[in-house]
Amino acid sequence: MLKFQVHSPGKVILHGEHAVVYHRPALAAVVGLGTTLRFRQLEDSQVASFQLEALNCTLEIQLPEFNGFLAEFRSKYPSDSTANLLEAVRAEVSKQLERSGGNAPKQHTQRAFISIYYLLAGAVLSAPGDKKLTLQTGFQVQVDSQLTVGAGLGSSASFGAALATTFLILAGHFDRDSYLSEANQALISSWAYESERVNHGTPSGLDNTVCTYGGMLRYVKGQGFQSLKIQKPLNILLVDSRVSRSTADIVAKVRHLGDAFPQLIEAIWQACEELVAAAVPLYESFGNAQDDSSKFEQLERLFQINNDLLKAIGVSHPKLEQIFTIAFKRGFFSKLTGAGAGGYVIVLLPENYECNEVYWKLKEELESAGFGVHVTTAGGEGLRVSSLDD
């Protein structure tokens, strides 16, 4: 029986958050934290079971009902288009939740169920070869995540990319030996983007792209991405402010600010674009020469400038300011990442930081102040499939 595991990393935006909404370039990188999905087919089962640790819930799909939904959709849309699939899935999930009775699930749980159902149906309906493919064998999916939901680390895209990969393998689009081909990575990313639509309505496409491909990317909305040729991942400290927020609300507030002061905010977006242009050669050359200390200092300054630009558009928060102050007092440079107004801060760490006594004092002070602290990297591997040992 089929069994495997998928690891899908989260992401951080290094530069260009908010500006990316207005078609300016952003730099993003995968982080060493992510989502792990374990898949096992189950003999003599007609149930697809999903255990989602981050949401503390288990969701189930009865395969006879699911196959009935597929048959109805194919009958209604015989051209085999999935253009109307999301709308059909929303209606089907709503009916199933009504039939199940009890309390309505939380919004996060309901969106996760829609994503699962949508991606599974999409993978089967678009499967190569057999246009009448149905699911005959049940399976179990366990999803564990190191990523805080709604904190700017791409948790939903990481989840979507892992699900998409799993269902595409299950439906025969590719296998564990061919998933890294250019065409198959593009397919994974496109379905992860569809999952993002469930969670965010009109996502930029940045998160699903970087979670799938890995490394460090320069991204412009509507123009795709370019992979940076970095020498090695950066060492970073991710600091969780433990302040939740709505990305959509923050983006809307920034848009209102731009409406009120269009020339001023446009100048900030232009500065953000210039900053990305200055940062790219530094990231690409860091780690291949003896003058890395000079390059690292330049990256630190760019972090500081970028953070000040983000403060200027009003997306800081008292808890973020506390983190910035603690880091700066110890000689470290930091910036918020993502939408801001909470979420995470990135602190740049030098080479051999573990040998630096000041680093340990920084970590201790941040933890004592009640912040979550994760030592990791930016710019490592993207999504990977591996064997699963029982």
Catalytic residues, by residue number, are 156, 207
**CB-count exposure of residue 355 (10 Å: 0-12, 13-18, 19+):** exposed
| Amino acid in the structure at residue 390 | D
Residue 37, classed as helix, strand or coil, is strand
Nearest to 20 by CA among 207, 180, 191, 159: 207
Query: Is 142 strand, coil or helix?
Result: strand
Category of 23 on φ-ψ map: left (φ > 0), alpha (ψ -120 to 50) or beta:
left
Backbone angles phi, psi at 352, to 5 degrees: 55, 35
- Return all residues near 369 (Cβ < 8 A) that are at least 6 apart: 322, 326
Q: Which of 335, 333, 334, 332 is nearest to 361 (CA)?
A: 332
- Which whole-number Å values give the CA distances from 70 to 73, 85, 116, in the listed order? 5, 10, 14
Buried b (16+ CB within 10 A) or exposed e, 125-158: bbbeeeeebebeebbbbbbebbbbebbbbbbbbb
CA pair distance 278, 313, nearest whole angstrom: 21
Q: Are the beta carbons of 356 and 331 closer than 8 angstroms?
A: no
The residue count of the chain comes to 390
What φ, ψ does residue 58 adopt, rounded to 5°? -125, 130
- Would you state the structure tokens that stand for residue 33, as one six-digit string? 């934290």
